Amino acid sequence: MTDTTPPPFLFYEGTLPLLLSIPHMGTHVPPGIAERLTDDARRVPDTDWHLDRLYAFAREMGASVLQATHSRYVVDLNRPPDNASLYPGQTTTSLCPVDTFDGTPVYRPGKNPDDAEVALRLDTWWRPYHQQLRNEIERIKARHGVAVLWDAHSIRSVLPRFFDGKLPDLNLGTANGASCATELAVRLLELATATPDHTAILNGRYTGGYITRHYGQPEAAVHAVQLEMTQCSYMQEQWPFEYRAHKAAVIQPCLRQMLEAATSFAKSVR
């Protein structure tokens, strides 16, 4: 019988000083976990849907691409391993989420993972992704002298649990200026702001998760940026979460321009 269990991640090695990380696009839930989920959670609604398709041009450009295969409900790759809050005082989800973005249970009663299971999930899926992330950053630095890490995310545009009203469409995060050079952040915001019929902000509600904050070290020639994009910019935000090519066609030129700007920046400072 053919084994249909996916590896912890998919990786494509590029030629540019640019690494695209997509940690929340995975949808696979192992059967032993899936059978404990609620009916709603089995649809993995909090997935960053279709980002591999939206960013398909990145591989064509020559960027390295690292993308998750497993759902964030299995383990959230953009949370710290000790499960510390990324936004103290604000509502957020955990390393192994037990509730959805809408606040409904992920698991059936009495089926939440215990500490031993969380530790096992860290070792099985979280650590391999981060090891590959570290390895590729070091490889890029060794070849180019500098690396830019682009952490790609998307989210529903209206989520009262996390923010009031409608989220800006393009939410750039640089850990409040700590994860990348100011020059790069300013240029990216210029490009995002110029996108027709879309709004943009730098270090607003989303300033970057664990990946951006942990790996972004400008003083060590690693510049990290997170982009949290509204899903209405390229897809249907509710089930069945369909990709909307006509919407994607409007936003993709901006995404390409931003990745090109990140690459040009890297080449200018190495």
Among 53, 33, 54, smallest CA distance to 42 is for 33
pLDDT (0 to 100) of residue 93:
78
Query: From CA 234, how far away is CA 54, in angstroms rounded?
Result: 8
Block residue for tokens 């390295």: 64
Q: Quick one: fold of 9-269?
A: Aminopeptidase (3.40.630)
Burial class (CB in 10 A: 0-12, 13-18, 19+), 200: buried
In the sheet that 147-155 helps form, which strands lie side by side, from edge to edge? 9-12, 64-68, 18-22, 147-155, 222-230, 170-173, 200-202
pLDDT (0 to 100) of residue 12:
98
Is residue 195 within 8 A of residue 251, CB to CB? The reply is: yes
Q: 72 pLDDT band (50/70/90 cuts)?
A: very high
Length of the chain: 270
pLDDT (0 to 100) of residue 199:
97
pLDDT (0 to 100) of residue 182:
98
Q: Which backbone phi and psi does 91 adopt, to 5 degrees?
A: -70, 135
Residues 17-69 have pLDDT tens digits of 999 999 999 999 999 999 999 999 999 999 999 999 999 999 999 999 999 99
Confidence (pTM)? 0.95
pLDDT at 269 over 90: no
Q: 4 pLDDT band (50/70/90 cuts)?
A: low
Q: 2 pLDDT band (50/70/90 cuts)?
A: very low
pLDDT at 87 over 90: no
pLDDT at 223 over 50: yes
Q: Which backbone phi and psi does 195 adopt, to 5 degrees?
A: -70, 125
